[in-house]
Amino acid sequence: MSPKIGILVVGLGGNNGVTLLAGHVANDLSLSWETQNGPMSANWYGCITQIDSKGDHGGCGFRDRLSGGSYGGLASATEAVIGGWDVRPTPLGDALYESRVLEYDLVRKVRDGMNGIKVMKGVYDPSFVGESQHATATHVVRGDDDLTLRSRVERLRKDIRRFRSENGLLGEDGGHVTVIWSASVERPSSASYSTADELLGAIYGADENDDDVSPSVLYAVASALEGCSFVNGGSQNTLSPALSELYGVEYRSSISGGILGKLGIGGLYCPDRPAYLLGTDFKAGQTKFKTAAVEYIRALGLLPMVVASSNHLGNNDMLNLTTKKTLDAKMRVKSNIFGPWDEPQLDHQVRVMYTPYIGDEKRDVVEYTSLGFLGCQHTMLTYTRCMDSVLCVPLMVDVAVWCDLFSRVDVSTKDAARATAYLFKVPEGGAAGVDPGFHRQMGELEDVLNTRCGGTTSSTAREEGRHLTWDVVEKAVGDGVLTREQADALRGLAKE
């Protein structure tokens, strides 16, 4: 039996949220439906944690490569519990219909059931989103729960506790919960805190909402206090040194006797169990391929000179970006994906356009110009079309499954961040400094899995003599043959 996990989506009624839910319902009910290319059955294509590898060379999927073991393998997305918040009151099935992302025959089959799923009211601050979002934001936290930053965080904590209780996700063995920000991109927050104590003090010690703390930071703080991982799927500057410290194992294990008591904050949920802060901005389509393409160009010994790209679509996320303050947040991450490579000659240009008629179907064109032998030009051109949410939802599934696995096998916050760097446009927080190349980032994932999950994920690693059966090591710890410190030392030696 696979582990049970919870996924809480901020922006559950958006295109990503309803597409995720529709996929979950379709797989849970083993649905089939008609498409213009013939019948289709429910699947988890694109989710590398939910599909098997192919042949002896690995690749593609991880489900069979990480099956069994003392840690129980990977969680099944079909058995996950999904919920979340939204500031709009549209029933989820109707929102799916309006999104025009999935085939109508599938939408028809899941619409009524999805309309019955409850959506929690969202914490809302209109100053952080574009004016185009204001009129529809009526399903929001109000009254006493909206008076201060503290009351907002406490409301979110109550929501998370209720979700856990209603879905059997309590206790250390109850299943890990991951909160994913999939709401509208926020403008950058001007609030800056160096330490977790400063951040908690600003939220819990203030009587007014004076500090410029964004809703995404409030969701992240509530998630940390309730033992949930938090994933920043947007491009705002949510991640910070203060939040990173709040998610650190050392801080979490000692916080109950520190600032929590001084500020009268309720204790942490499972403070000794790791939870993770990850982001920033899901790298789902064009950007992911860019990092692989430029990695290829550099591997050939060519000198990349110009990467000029444009993409256009007409979903609500792009509508929000028609406001300059939110567009600036998006462009910060889209234009900085090659930063760690230190290629000063590379002219990386990005243009985004809001085209309502196109809806969620993202279309992008990228031209890559490099210098080859004796300075002769080498040019490549790519064109991609795909529903934006169809690209993003598998990343939401995979990150929740990885967070659960990593928490169960006690992966450090730093290793979890570098292992999941391939999912995000900019390696921030614990992933800072990770190579931006897509294949290099997948190598980081393989490395962490090899070290922490029995060395079963890479035939190359086994051939190099790096295989070590961690199930045996974990059993030795449980039997008192090894201490936890000795087991971690063994893992460190294997990694070296």
- CATH 3.30.360.10 describes domain 286-386: yes
- How do the domains of the chain map onto residue ranges? 6-282+391-443, 286-386, 466-495
Q: Note the pTM of the prediction, 2 decimals.
A: 0.88
**Nearby residues of 7 by Cβ (< 8 Å), 6 or more positions away:** 20, 80, 81, 82, 83, 84, 177, 178, 180, 396, 397, 400
- Spell out the residues 6+ positions from residue 424 whose beta carbon is closer than 8 angstroms to its own: 278, 279, 280, 281, 282, 283, 431
Radius of gyration of the chain (CA): 22
Tokens of 496: 């070296």
Instruction: Answer left, alpha or beta for residue 267, where phi above 0 means left and psi between -120 and 50 means alpha.
Output: beta
What would the two tokens of residue 87 be?
Answer: 């500031």
Q: How many residues does the chain have?
A: 496
Along the 496 residues of the chain, how does pLDDT read in single tens digits?
678 999 999 999 999 999 999 999 999 999 999 999 999 999 999 999 999 988 665 568 999 888 866 677 899 999 999 999 999 999 999 999 999 999 999 999 999 999 999 999 999 999 999 898 999 999 999 999 999 999 999 999 999 999 999 999 987 667 899 999 999 999 989 888 999 999 999 998 866 667 889 999 999 999 999 999 999 999 899 999 999 999 988 887 776 556 777 777 777 788 888 999 998 899 887 788 888 999 999 999 999 999 999 989 898 888 888 888 788 777 776 677 887 788 899 999 989 899 999 999 989 999 999 999 999 999 999 999 999 999 999 999 999 999 999 999 999 999 999 999 999 988 888 888 898 888 899 999 999 998 888 655 444 333 333 334 455 666 666 667 677 777 777 766 654 5
Closest CA to 404 of 108, 176, 223, 182: 176
Instruction: Identify the architecture of domain 6-282+391-443 in CATH.
Output: 3-Layer(aba) Sandwich (3.40)
Task: Give the Cα separation of 425 and 318 in Å (integer).
Answer: 17
